[in-house]
Chain A
Amino acid sequence: MSPNRPRVSPGIWGTVLLFLAGLWVLMAPYFVGYQVPGHPWRNPGRNDVVVGAALALASILGLLLQIAFWLQGLAEAETRRAKAGHLPSDQPESTPRPG
């Protein structure tokens, strides 16, 4: 891989897991049974739904922003490479150009 290409941090997988954890917290009151649909809200159910939604939202936003920045960096790296004379940036300068 070219050193100029943007790299994806392994932490992105942690963010994916945090998103799944947020979904679990959001749905746990109904799965575990301390909040019944249609009944009045109780403290644990309301708390878990709000916190789970916030966690899932923050994780998915972070994930989408990182993907967007990664794609932007990829596009810029390609543009730089094209401007540098169609030479892959990890090849030595002495490599003859094709054509």
Chain B
Amino acid sequence: MSLVNGDGPPVPTPPAASLVAQRPGGRPAAPREAEPQMAAPGGYRSRGNGRAWSRWLRVREASRGSSGRCAVPGMLAASREGRSTPVRVGKHLAAFSATTLALLAGTWLLLAPWILGYQAGVTSGWTNATLTDFWTGVGVVVLAAVTLSLYAGTLLQELREKGLLSQRRRTAFSAVSEEGANGLAARGAPGAAPAAVSGARADARSEAADIDRMLLPLAAALLADLTKRQGAPVTPSAPASGPGGENQ
């Protein structure tokens, strides 16, 4: 079995059931489980491309839900502390859709007396119909806005709990300290810069990891699409252990 890469001859690969990732030092890592459902696209499989291969493997593993399948539309899979937990999007979609419709209906009720013409002016005496529609519209708009914010809070909390959103937002202080520290380091001020630089860089690293985690399911879905379109073989192959290879 072999896969043809775009920039080289076909590379023979071992059977999928006996895949063993080689570490750079020659010590074999734990054997990888054979996964016949998804294959890496052509660009991810070649000699000396171990870094891309291991990145693809991480993307694929992160895209899997608790059932072991790839992420499906309507569900985001997030891995937190070794356990995959799905985020149901349909529930939130239904809540947001209904509340947004209610917000629009309230706005319409608020304005209908003047748009439909059963209220002459703003200052002239209001009819019973205008009074009812206007104040009911105000109530519906306020209620819908509060409900929408409650749903948004629940969604954000759920995303934070499942690790798809950062627990702590980047504060203006950390941004300022990062810029200031970089400036100090550039001017060569000893002593003041290192602590600030390390704190700011730790912030930046954690944010980059968060963004990576959020984008992983999307990247996996894109890879699956590409694989399907290219009609690539469905059996993955072992990463070649080149000198620059990175296996995890």
Any A CB within 8 A of the CB of B129: yes
Q: In the complex, A65→B91 CA distance in Å?
A: 7
B150:A9 contact, CB within 8 angstroms: yes
B146:A65 contact, CB within 8 angstroms: no
B90-108: CB near A (< 8 Å → 1, else 0) gives: 1100110111011001101
Contact of B128 among A3, A33, A61 (CB under 8 A): A33
Residues A14 and B143 in contact in the complex (CB < 8 Å), given A33-B128, A51-B105, A62-B97:
yes
B108:A18 contact, CB within 8 angstroms: no
Contact of B150 among A10, A47, A58, A70 (CB under 8 A): A10
Q: Which of B129, B136, B139 has the most CB of A within 10 A?
A: B129
A36-60: CB near B (< 8 Å → 1, else 0) gives: 0000001111011001001100110
Q: In the complex, A20→B90 CA distance in Å?
A: 24
Q: In the complex, A3→B146 CA distance in Å?
A: 25
B108:A62 contact, CB within 8 angstroms: no
B122-162: CB near A (< 8 Å → 1, else 0) gives: 00000111101100100110011011101101100010010
Residues of A close to B140: CB separation below 8 A = 18, 21, 25, 55
A44:B113 contact, CB within 8 angstroms: yes
Report how many A-B pairs have Cβ atoms within 8 Å.
123
A2-22: CB near B (< 8 Å → 1, else 0) gives: 011011011110110110011
Q: In the complex, A42→B112 CA distance in Å?
A: 13
Residues of A close to B154: CB separation below 8 A = 7, 9-11
Contact of B143 among A17, A43, A69 (CB under 8 A): A17
Closest chain A CB from B81 CB (angstroms): 11
B117 — nearest CB in chain A belongs to which residue?
A43
Residues of A close to B85: CB separation below 8 A = 4
A47:B112 contact, CB within 8 angstroms: yes
A24 — nearest CB in chain B belongs to which residue?
B136
Residues A69 and B88 in contact in the complex (CB < 8 Å), given A15-B95, A44-B118:
yes
Any A CB within 8 A of the CB of B116: yes
Closest chain B CB from A47 CB (angstroms): 5
A44:B129 contact, CB within 8 angstroms: yes
A62:B94 contact, CB within 8 angstroms: yes
A10 — nearest CB in chain B belongs to which residue?
B150
B105:A43 contact, CB within 8 angstroms: no
Q: In the complex, A24→B91 CA distance in Å?
A: 26
Closest chain B CB from A44 CB (angstroms): 3
A65:B108 contact, CB within 8 angstroms: no
Any A CB within 8 A of the CB of B109: yes
Residues of A close to B94: CB separation below 8 A = 61-62, 65-66, 69
A21:B143 contact, CB within 8 angstroms: yes
B90:A65 contact, CB within 8 angstroms: yes
List residues of chain B with CB under 8 Å of any chain A CB. Answer: 66, 85, 88, 90-91, 94-95, 97-99, 101-102, 105-106, 108-109, 112-113, 116-118, 127-130, 132-133, 136, 139-140, 143-144, 146-148, 150-151, 153-154, 158, 161
What are the nearest 4 A-B pairs in CB distance? A62-B98, A14-B147, A44-B129, A11-B150
**Could you list 16 examples of A-B contacts with CB < 8 Å?**
A3-B161, A11-B150, A12-B95, A14-B143, A14-B144, A14-B150, A21-B139, A21-B140, A22-B105, A43-B117, A48-B133, A55-B101, A55-B102, A59-B102, A62-B95, A65-B91
